[in-house]
Amino acid sequence: MPAHSTILKVFLILLILSAFSCAVNPVTGRNELMFVSEQQEIAIGKDASPSANWEFGGEYHDPALQSYLNRIVKQLWTVSERNHLPFEFHIQNSSIPNAFALPGYVAITRGLLADMENEAQFAAVMGHEIGHVMARHTAQRISKGMLQQLGLSVGAIALQGSSGSDALLQLGAIGSSLMLLKYDREQELQADRLGVKYMSEIGYDPREAVEAHKVLERSANNYMSRMKVSARSDTFMSELLSTHPRTSVRLEEINEMISVLPPYALRGDGKSANAFKRAKDQLSNKSTAYYTFDEAAQHLQKKEYSKAEGKVKEAIRLNGSEAIFHNLLGEIKLITKDFIAAETSFKKAVSLYPNFQPAVYGLGSAYFFGNKYSSAIEQFRFSISLYPQHALSHFGLGKSYYELADYSKAIPYLKAFAGSAPDHDEIHGLLGICFDRTQQMQSAVIAYKNQLQVAPDTDLGRHARKRLAEINPIL
């Protein structure tokens, strides 16, 4: 490519950047690099919230506790810099101690909540997570990733026509994902600063922010001890502890932040431990059952199905009203191909929590393997309405239509799954047959060729090879 052409393209890119990339941070008041508008930020949070919800166990069902804590979060949100933004507060049904926030979505896990001692500690953690949203930290991370990709595009332009551009883009994609994996130190400190500010403004003792950090570290250590894992061996816990460091240096920094706060007035003793303990009574009473459930889930992960079944049945004996317990038993029965028992367990889970997506999906799977394809379709469609990005629900729905020979309806769902799992050993062959049966021969050829690349020695691979030999002379 001529040098002047490359320079012109780079100049145009930089010109676009200068026109659209500057925004005022609502917390600092300073101009900063920003490619994401506030409306886009809200949309990103809305799109991501179903994944965040279901990947952390779905909603923990305790309406009284939910309402009690939501009031505190609402007060924190009201004193924040962008209180016009919409938000929902959720208690995630996971024993992993964690809290997080997306634009429009604020959450704490059951595991961390169970270990907290008072309202002030809860307010500190939620204030910290809200601070990430108000300071636009997620949008900053996205903008940095976009900038890096833009830089790579410029590099690709300069290297156009050579193999170097492809290598550069591949290396850059890996770097981007690592760079955006966690908040940086300055963002964490800013969220700490905002958290103690918000909690003090609504009457909580900001010194409890220090105790909240200690609770999180203790909660993480207790969880790993119960599950007999270490931070080094557990990828998620290692990431959690690296993104939320709880060192003495960090605590000293928070104490310094508290010392420079403007005057504040405590509400009562600034902690409200007794009210908090009463609100958590039901949660505390379920701890033993959930510890047993966690053991069952760990056995299932290790493919120790008999031990997993024994433990989850013990959890159900301790507390039979938790949908997630019956869902796990359904999963065990599904894996061990006892489809009638699986159907029974998933139905029980759904009766306790009608919108519990894992059980809705599980019931669809039990119907599918029991050859009840029309019933499976109904459940998979409901599952997708609850969790639109759930790839396996799309696959199950596509396969159900396929089994009923309704190939045109199968195609969009199988395509959606192929986009999420391009190396799956069946998906391209199934798509090839669907395209083939609906006379979309060019698409069939592409799908069959993909099947041969991914899994040529399966029945679908052999069918793909046979059909390609028959179709190609015609085309």
Q: Report yes or no: 250 and 193 within 8 Å, Cβ to Cβ.
A: no
Task: Report the pLDDT value the prediction gives residue 446, as an integer from 0 to 100.
Answer: 97
pLDDT of 112 higher than 80:
yes
* pLDDT digits 0-9 by tens, 348-376: 999 999 999 999 999 999 999 999 999 99
Across the range 178-200, mean pLDDT stands at 81
Retrieve residue 261's tokens.
């706060």
Amino acid, single-letter form, for residue 305 = Y
Across the range 456-462, mean pLDDT stands at 97
The whole-angstrom separation of Cα 302 and Cα 227 is 12
Rg (CA), the chain: 26
Amino acid, single-letter form, for residue 35 = F
Average pLDDT, the chain: 86
Could you tell me the pLDDT band of residue 169, with boundaries at 50, 70 and 90? Answer: very low
CA angle 265, 271, 275 (to 5 degrees): 125
- DSSP-assigned letters across all residues of 286-313: THHHHHHHHHHHHHHHTT-HHHHHHHHH
- Nearest residue to 199 (alpha-carbon basis) of 78, 65, 25, 26: 78
The whole-angstrom separation of Cα 209 and Cα 196 is 7
The whole-angstrom separation of Cα 297 and Cα 427 is 28
CATH number of 286-379: 1.25.40.10
- DSSP-assigned letters across all residues of 187-199: HHHHHHHHHHHHH
Retrieve residue 348's tokens.
């029980």
The whole-angstrom separation of Cα 166 and Cα 305 is 45
Across the range 168-176, mean pLDDT stands at 33
Q: What are the angstrom distances between the C-alpha of 58 and each of 55, 91, 404? A: 7, 8, 32
Of residues 80 and 161, the one with the higher pLDDT is: 80
Across the range 465-471, mean pLDDT stands at 95
Q: Report yes or no: 57 and 324 within 8 Å, Cβ to Cβ.
A: yes
What is the number of other CB atoms lying within 10 angstroms of the CB of residue 295? 20
Q: Among 91-100, 138-147, 381-390, whose mean pLDDT is lowest?
A: 138-147
* pLDDT digits 0-9 by tens, 298-328: 999 999 999 999 999 999 999 999 999 999 9
Task: Report the pLDDT value the prediction gives residue 248, as an integer from 0 to 100.
Answer: 62
Task: Report the pLDDT value the prediction gives residue 231, as an integer from 0 to 100.
Answer: 60
Region of 270 on the Ramachandran plot (φ > 0 left; ψ -120 to 50 alpha; else beta): left
Task: Report the pLDDT value the prediction gives residue 244, as an integer from 0 to 100.
Answer: 53
Q: Among 232-236, 314-318, 325-329, 381-385, whose mean pLDDT is lowest?
A: 232-236
Kindly give, in sequence order, each residue whose CB lies less than 8 Å from that of residue 433, ignoring residues fewer than 6 positions away: 402, 407, 444, 463
Task: Report the pLDDT value the prediction gives residue 199, as an integer from 0 to 100.
Answer: 97
Amino acid, single-letter form, for residue 263 = P
Handedness of CA 242, 245, 247, 253 (dihedral sign): positive
Task: Report the pLDDT value the prediction gives residue 154, as an integer from 0 to 100.
Answer: 44
**Which of the listed CATH numbers 1.25.40.10, 1.10.10.10, 1.10.340.70, 3.30.530.20 matches domain 389-475?**
1.25.40.10
Of residues 381 and 31, the one with the higher pLDDT is: 381
pLDDT of 172 higher than 70:
no
Task: Report the pLDDT value the prediction gives residue 240, as an integer from 0 to 100.
Answer: 56
Give the bridge partners for 90, in sequence order: 107
Percent of the chain with pLDDT over 90: 69
Task: Report the pLDDT value the prediction gives residue 126, as an integer from 0 to 100.
Answer: 98
What is the number of other CB atoms lying within 10 angstroms of the CB of residue 382? 18
Task: Report the pLDDT value the prediction gives residue 155, as an integer from 0 to 100.
Answer: 46
Residue ranges per domain, the chain?
31-259, 286-379, 389-475
What is the number of other CB atoms lying within 10 angstroms of the CB of residue 310? 16
- Nearest residue to 142 (alpha-carbon basis) of 187, 181, 107: 181
Maximum Cα–Cα distance across the chain = 84
Classified as helix, coil or strand, 31 is strand
pLDDT of 49 higher than 80:
yes
* pLDDT digits 0-9 by tens, 23-48: 778 777 787 777 778 888 888 888 88
Across the range 320-349, mean pLDDT stands at 98
Domains 286-379 and 389-475 share a fold: yes
pLDDT of 436 higher than 80:
yes
Task: Report the pLDDT value the prediction gives residue 247, as an integer from 0 to 100.
Answer: 55
Q: Report yes or no: 22 and 34 within 8 Å, Cβ to Cβ.
A: yes
* pLDDT digits 0-9 by tens, 248-271: 667 888 899 999 999 999 999 999
